Every structure is written in structure tokens, then in C-alpha cells.
Structure 1
Amino acid sequence: MNFPLRLCAVLLSSLAVVATAGDAPHRALTGPPSHYLSVSGKDYRLAPAHPRDAAGHAIDGVHATRIEVQDGEGDWETVQDNELPALAIAAPPELRDKLDWFYANATGWLAVPRGWKPQRTAVGVDGNTVFSFVAPEGAEAGWMSWELFPACLGCIYEAAQGVFPGAHKQLDTLMETSTPEPVLEPKPDQLQRLDRCTARLAYRVPKSPPVRALMVLDQTGDPFFRELAIAAPASSAAVADFLLASFKDAHGGCGKP
């Protein structure tokens, strides 16, 4: 069975809490991409992209790439240049030459630090999506992970537990179990609830720059979970600030905590 077909099970396994004798179970936070790495030409294909603005005019000076991936049934999700949605570049002028843009059907347009390459591209039959990028020197020099769980309730609550109050109880109810609330591993240096559905975290993991992340658990309609985690060196702090702010503007915001 290919990886996309196993994505939901893999995500549940990778996010699962680990119980230790006498201790509360642990819920691992997102770290550098190191498992189930995708292979160019086999799991995904890259092609140049030529984006246009909302008026249909070509955007010059933009480094853009199309990512074609296999869907849950093993078919390639392809998109041609003339089918690409408009690219709205909200980046300030001083950052535009520090960004690359990638487009995939599952993600839409994604901005990443200039020169970073895809490391993991996975889309499951239920829409679970994980796209990771790493710096040219490897994950120790920087990485970014973009995740969406739109349908698998177990995946949604598994990812949200320990961060969003009530998520673990919802998971227990779903799984018909009664288990202790997990402890986040590593312990965040910062965990701030920005509103009812958005949380900001900062933490450290081995062999990585410091990590900053935004998580969104939106249950105003059908539940979904999104996360952007980025570990960037100090020299790319302004780029990381822009990416996190853009993610929050696009996906966060559910009223007061």
C-alpha cells in the first residue's frame, strides 16, 4: 500500500501519546521532517510555474514552482499554468527576493524561504495533508511544516490535545476510552491562546533552530486542524515572521479565548 493511502494511520501513529511508567503520556510536537520522506519523481514532481495576478497579468521576478503529487488513489494531481489561481503577494518589497512560491492542489500557494526544497509531500484519501520543506544545508539549518487535517476526527483531536482545552476529552469520547491528558514534549517555551481556535507555540528540538508554530482547531462548522511550524535561523527571522503572520491572517481568528 502506498504512503498516501496510509496517511491517516501514519499521522495517528506519529502523533500518538507515549506512556511511560509512572508518568503522564506525552504528545510530541512537530519536529524536523525525518520520517516518510518523499522522493522527487516518485512521490511528487516539480515543474516551473508562471503565476499571474488577479487581473491576469504575469508577475515578474517571482520564483514559483508547481508541485504535482499522487492522490489517495495513486493518480497524479496535475495543474497547468493557465489553471493556476491568482497569486496575491502580500510580502513587503524587502522580503520578496527572500521567498519562493510553491503551488499544489492540496495546499494552494505556499510561500517558503528562498532556496528551501520539498522534503515531504503527502495527501491522504481523507484530505490529510503534510508538506514539509528544508533549507539547502538540511533541516539543521531550517525547516518548515504545513499540515491540514480536514476530516479524520481522530487525527484532528490527536493533533490538538495538550494545546486546546477539551480536545483530549473529545478524542477519548471518539475512541471510547478514558486516558490522562497528555504532556507536550518538548515543553513549550511559549504557549499562548490567541483566540478560541488559534494557539501560538515556541519550543526547541534537537538538531534544529528554535521552532515557532501556529495551530488552528476550528469547530465552528465541520472540525479541522491546521498547523504551520517553522524553524528558521536568526538571519531569516523576518521571513518567518511574515509566513506566520500570513498563516494567522488566512486561517486563524475565532473570537476571544
Structure 2
Amino acid sequence: MNFPLRLGAVLLLLIAATGTATAGDAPRRSLTSPPSHYASAAGKDYRLAPAHPRDASGKPLTDVHATRIEVKDGEGEWETVQDTNLPALAITAPAELRDKLDWFYASATGWLAVPRGWKPLRTAVGVDGNTVFSFVAPEGAEAGWMSWELFPACLGCIYEAAQGVFPGAHKQLDALMKTSTPEPVLEPKPDELQRLDRCTARLAYRLPKSPPVRALMVLDQTGDPFYRELALAMPASSAALADFLLASFKDAHGGCGRP
């Protein structure tokens, strides 16, 4: 399965094709929303199997809730990873949070920490490496959800996802698409948009039928460009767990110098 260019990039091309764009034509760059569309089907698009992880020394982690997520590769074959081939699971969670976490492993994502009891809703991996994994609370997305995204190769996807947040990304998209279009407007308007360094941004925003959303976005162009994002919606009562998940994502994937 090959991911198409994200819809926003296509819309930009259509705007440019009809004539010179004006500020009033500025498109909307929709921030990540609850995963209510494109739900994957268990058994068809992905399948789950118990995982038995080990730490860096090879010791079994018997007190960890872990699951393998198997998805199909570009040729339609299941990507199966046996327990013996799983990478070590380094648990950095404080002791008081460990019983609030489940761990999922997929070849495309590595180990993902997820709030306890949340289930996969979307598991999409394209032949170009574009990856979206979404999870929801047992009560549904209105109670909590998270979305983990990676765009490692499709430049149109990378710049379309980063525009409106990272300066210069929209101009790079225009150059790639050979268009001249207005900078998009973020929708909804973030309550917070902070550049943590030149490739990492922190956002907070609100959506209907969702807890408040906190997100970290990474646009790294120190080598081959890639875009990565974690969007997490959890109630205030789970703030400590949300803090841990976002901090772990930043430690693993963010940071490339000063703004």
C-alpha cells in the first residue's frame, strides 16, 4: 500500500492551477483529530499476539503487559517478529506509572508505550515508510486517544504536515509542487505553539468530543528529511501519564539544536 500525498498538498496544487492565490484563499492545515476515520480491521489489516520482552541484559520482563502488532508489508505479506527477535525494552517509566502502561511492538514503530487498556484503531504502513498508528481508550475517543505518525521519505507528505508549524516548510512544499500559495492557517487555532528547538514544536489545542490535545511535532532536516508526530488526548486526571509519554517521545525523537 503506497500512501498518496496528504490531502492538503493536493489542495494547494489545485488552488495554484486556478490562478494566483490570495490571502483569502489560504487553505486550512487541520491538526490531528480523534481517529474516527480509516479504522483498521483486526485480522485483516493487523493482528495481535502476546509479546514477552526482555531488558538490555536479556532478563525477561515478567511484570510488563506487552503485545506484538503484525501488519502487512508492501507485498501483502504479514511482517512477523518472533519474541526472540524483539529488541530490548528499556523501561524508563517511574514505578508509580508502570501499572498504567501497556507496550506494543511493531516493526514500523519499535516499542510504543500506550495507556493501559487502550486498543489499536488504525495501523497503516505504506511502502514508502509512511506510518500511522492510533489507539483509543476502551470507552472510545471521547475518553482518550493517541496518534503516532512518521513520514520518512515522501517529501510532499513531510512538508504538508509541517507547514503552519515550522517556518519555511510551506515554501519548501510550494517549491516541490511548483506552486505559489498562501501559508495555511492551523485549524483549530492552537492554545499553545512553542518551538522547543529548530526541529521540535509543542502544541496544545482543543477539538469537539475529545479531551484537550497535546502534541509534539518533529521536522528534522539535518540529513534526509523526516516528519514525526505524537498527538495525545487525555483527561486532566491522567496528566502525569501524559507528561511521561510526551517526554519519552521528545527524548527519543526530538531535539536538534536551538530554535
- Tell me the TM-score normalized by structure 1: 0.94
Q: Conserved in 2, the CA contact under 8 Å of 1:188 and 1:201?
A: yes
1:23 positional shift: 4.7
| 1:21–1:256 Cα change, 3 Å | closer
1:123 to 125, 128, 135: 125
Q: 1:12 maps to what in 2?
A: 6
Q: Conserved in 1, the CA contact under 8 Å of 2:25 and 2:182?
A: no
**Residue 90 (structure 2) pairs with residue 88 (structure 1):** yes
Q: Conserved in 2, the CA contact under 8 Å of 1:150 and 1:225?
A: yes
| 1:115–1:15 Cα change, 3 Å | farther
2:32 to 7, 30, 33: 30
User: Separation in 2 of the partners of 1:81 and 1:238?
Assistant: 30
Q: 1:154 maps to what in 2?
A: 156
Q: Conserved in 1, the CA contact under 8 Å of 2:197 and 2:256?
A: yes
User: Separation in 2 of the partners of 1:99 and 1:68?
Assistant: 20
Q: 1:69 maps to what in 2?
A: 71
In the alignment, structure 2 segments of 5+ residues that lack a partner are 16-21
Q: Deviations over 1:151-198 (max 9, x none)?
A: 000000000000000000000000000000000000000000000000
Amino acid at match of 2:217: M
Q: How many aligned residue pairs are there?
A: 251
User: Separation in 2 of the partners of 1:235 and 1:25?
Assistant: 36
Q: Deviations over 1:41-87 (max 9, x none)?
A: 00000000000000101012110000000112211111001110000
User: Separation in 1 of the partners of 2:9 and 2:23?
Assistant: 19
- Tell me the TM-score normalized by structure 2: 0.94
Amino acid at match of 1:165: P
RMSD (CA atoms): 1.6
1:34 positional shift: 1.4
In the alignment, structure 1 segments of 5+ residues that lack a partner are none
| 1:43–1:15 Cα change, 3 Å | farther
Secondary structure of 2:224 counterpart: coil
Secondary structure of 1:163 counterpart: coil
User: Separation in 2 of the partners of 1:36 and 1:158?
Assistant: 20
Secondary structure of 1:127 counterpart: coil
Q: 1:134 maps to what in 2?
A: 136
1:22 positional shift: 3.5
| 1:16–1:239 Cα change, 3 Å | farther
Secondary structure of 1:209 counterpart: coil
Moved more, 34-43 or 90-99: 34-43
Q: Conserved in 1, the CA contact under 8 Å of 2:9 and 2:156?
A: no
Q: Conserved in 1, the CA contact under 8 Å of 2:8 and 2:29?
A: no
1:233 positional shift: 1.0
2:56 to 54, 57, 63: 54
Q: Residues 153-232 of structure 1: matches in 2 within 5 Å?
A: 153-232=155-234
1:15 positional shift: 7.1
Q: 2:245 maps to what in 1?
A: 243
Q: Deviations over 1:119-150 (max 9, x none)?
A: 00000000000000000000000000000000
Q: Conserved in 2, the CA contact under 8 Å of 1:100 and 1:113?
A: yes
| 1:225–1:112 Cα change, 3 Å | same
1:24 positional shift: 2.1
